[in-house]
Each structure stands twice: as C-alpha cells, then as structure tokens.
Structure 1
Amino acid sequence: MDRTFTRLREVIAAALLVFTSLTLALPVRAQSDDASQREIAALLSFVAHSPCTFIRNGTAYPATQAEGHLEDKLHYLQRKGKVHSAEDFIQLAATESSISGKPYLVRCDGKERPSADWLNEELTRLRNAGS
C-alpha cells in the first residue's frame, strides 16, 4: 500500500510539473504569435500599397489583387496549421504558385525579381526599424 501511494504521489508530482511548464510557456508562445501576426499584416500591407506589379503564373496583377491573393493563401495555410511566422508566410504563401510551382515575381521600376527576395528584404527592414 505504501508503494502504491508513493508511486501515485510521484505521478501526480510529475503531471503537475509538466502542466506548470506548459502553462508558463503559453504566454511566450502567444507573444511570439502576436509578433508574427503583426509582421505578416505589415507584409500584406506592404504588398497592397506597393507601386510594384505582382506576377503570378506569367500574368501581371496590381498590388491590391496580389495582396488579396496572398491573404487568401495565408488563411488557407493557417487553417491547415502551417504558418507560424513571417518566414513561413513568405516561404509557403508568397514564393511560388501552389498549382504550377512557378515562382512569384515582382516588377518594380521596370526590373523583375523573386517576390520572396523582395518580401524578405522588407521583413528585415521592419525588424531593424523595430529594434
């Protein structure tokens, strides 16, 4: 009987330790998620207000349409639990067509470049401005 009681106390203590650890980690994760969501929103706003043209599968789209498309992809990916950071957003939603696999491009001042490079530069600028 003593062994059973001792073992039960050990199991309860271990469960409390795990629960406490998880509970303490939640605010950090929530803060991280909030920061990531703000960065993603800032990137979407950057796209929407850009004078650049977004090229998807060989067709040029104005900034507002590009932003709408990326936002739709973001929501789909978030429902699947795949986007947790601004880097995830860029890599999974804003780099290439999910259907054709062709890279997304942006045309700014007559020059084309991969959208991933363009957005990663903006993310770096946002983070440097915030520090």
Structure 2
Amino acid sequence: MSVFSVAPAAVCKAGESTGEDLDLTIANLLQHVARSNLIFIRNGVMHSPAKAEAHMRRKYEYFKGDIQTPEDFIRLCASKSTQTGRPYQVKLPDGRLLRTDQWMLSVLSQYRRETGQ
C-alpha cells in the first residue's frame, strides 16, 4: 500500500469511517440497490431496483471527482434529483416510504458493521 492510498481517509469528516476502500464500498451499495426488492421513486415515477442502480451509477460517474466518502456518494447520487431537487424515495414491501438517502445510510452502517470498518 502506498502513502497516497491512505490520503483520502485522512480527510474524512467526523463520524465517518477511515480506512475503507471507497470503490468497494460504493460497489457494495450499488449491488445492494440492484438486489433489493424495493421500488425506487424518482420525481414521482416508480423504478425497478435495476433501473435505480443504473441511474445511481451514472450519477456516480458524473460526480466521481467530488466523492471522497461513501456519504458523499449517497448525498450526491442517491438522495435527490439534481433537476427538480425532489428527494428520492424507496417503497418498502409493507408500503412504507423512506427517503432513499436514509435507507442507503442504514445499508452503509450495516455494511461497516459486517466488515469491521
């Protein structure tokens, strides 16, 4: 591991984990979206998990230079429409609606617990 590979972890904000592999963590979040059984709502339109994952992946490619943490990814790619400002939502199997960023933060928290990050 080079000295440069740990530099991004040194600039993490308070409360954010250090030492995690950003690309691996984001790939896990995207995979979790794609494999979920939820309905993703963007600007009032329902989307499948596969379409939601593809949309977040496109936004990730666009914002990649601005993303230093998984929380940045969630904020920039999985929280709201950049066109309308409307928050993204997920519809749970029981019909409840959650903001997508809240759901993704809970997925991230679970991932960190499971991987010891």
1:1-12 pair list within 5 angstroms: none
1:72 counterpart = 2:58: yes
Is 1:101 aligned to 2:85, yes or no?
yes
Identity of aligned residues (%): 32
Separation in 2, partners of 1:34, 1:125? 14
**Following TM superposition, where does structure 1 have runs of at least 4 consecutive aligned residues deviating by more than 6 angstroms?**
30-34
TM-score normalised by the chain length of structure 2: 0.84
Question: Counterparts of 1:101-120 in structure 2 under 5 Å?
Answer: 101-109=85-93, 110-120=95-105
| Whole-Å separation in 1 of the counterparts to 2:62 and 2:44 | 23
Paired residue for 2:47, among 61, 67, 79? Answer: 61
Deviation at 1:36, TM superposition (A): 1.0
Asked which structure has the greater CA Rg, the reply is: 1
1:86 aligns with 2:64: no
Unaligned runs of 5+ in 2: 10-17
1:77 positional shift: 0.5
**For residue 109 of structure 2, what is the aligned residue in structure 1?**
124
Structure 1 gaps of 5+ residues are 1-23
Shift of 1:46: 0.4
RMSD of aligned residue pairs (Cα, Å): 1.9
Q: Distance in 1 between matches of 2:103 and 2:6?
A: 29
Question: Aligned-pair distance for 1:34?
Answer: 6.8
Residue of structure 1 in register with 2:32 after alignment: 46
- 1:21-78 alpha-carbon deviations (Å, 9 max, x no partner): xxx7413237878711111000000000000000000000000000000000000011
Aligned residues: 106
Contact 2:22 2:70 survives alignment (8 Å): yes
Bigger RCO (CA 8 Å, 6+ sep): 2
TM-score by length of 1: 0.75
User: Structure 2 counterpart of 1:48, which letter?
Assistant: A
